[in-house]
Amino acid sequence: MTVALMWEARAVAGRGEELLAWARAQELAVAPLRRETFRAPQDRVLVITWWDAEFDAELPELPEPDAELAQRAVHRWRFEPVGPQLPQEA
């Protein structure tokens, strides 16, 4: 089974690049199958890690950044794939 862990944080205003650099520098105790990092308006940073594990497996996650860097607590979610999306027929 594959599970994806999502980590999303919002930087203190004007510190988005710093939060992005911080998130990219974080090393996990075990390497995931894949790791993707994104940025968005309002200084948001998103990291998705993909694992070959059960949905409720204990997996390493990115930590909380320092309070001076993040505007609020990190949001974390787990997802499991549900199969390919088929095109709609006309």
- CATH number of the domain at 16, please: 3.30.70
- Local structure of residue 17 (DSSP, 8 states): H
Instruction: Say if 44 falls within a structural domain.
Output: yes
Calculate ∠ Cα 23-10-79, nearest 5°.
70
Give the pLDDT confidence score for residue 33 in this predicted structure: 97
62 inside domain: no
Q: Of how many residues is the chain composed?
A: 90
For residue 1, what pLDDT band results from cuts at 50, 70 and 90? confident
Task: Give the strand pairing for 75-79 and 2-10.
Answer: antiparallel
Is a pLDDT exceeding 70 seen at residue 90? no
Is 34 within the bounds of a domain? yes
Span 30-89, pLDDT tens digits: 999 999 999 999 999 999 999 999 999 999 999 999 999 999 999 999 999 887 767 777
Strand partners, 5: 49, 78
* Domain carrying residue 39: 2-55+68-79
User: What integer pLDDT is reported at residue 66 of this predicted model?
Assistant: 93
Bridge partners of residue 35, in order along the sequence: 49
Q: Domain for residue 60, yes or no?
A: no
The answer to the question of residue 84 being in a domain is no
Query: What domain count does the chain have?
Result: 1
- Does the predicted model carry a pTM greater than 0.75? yes
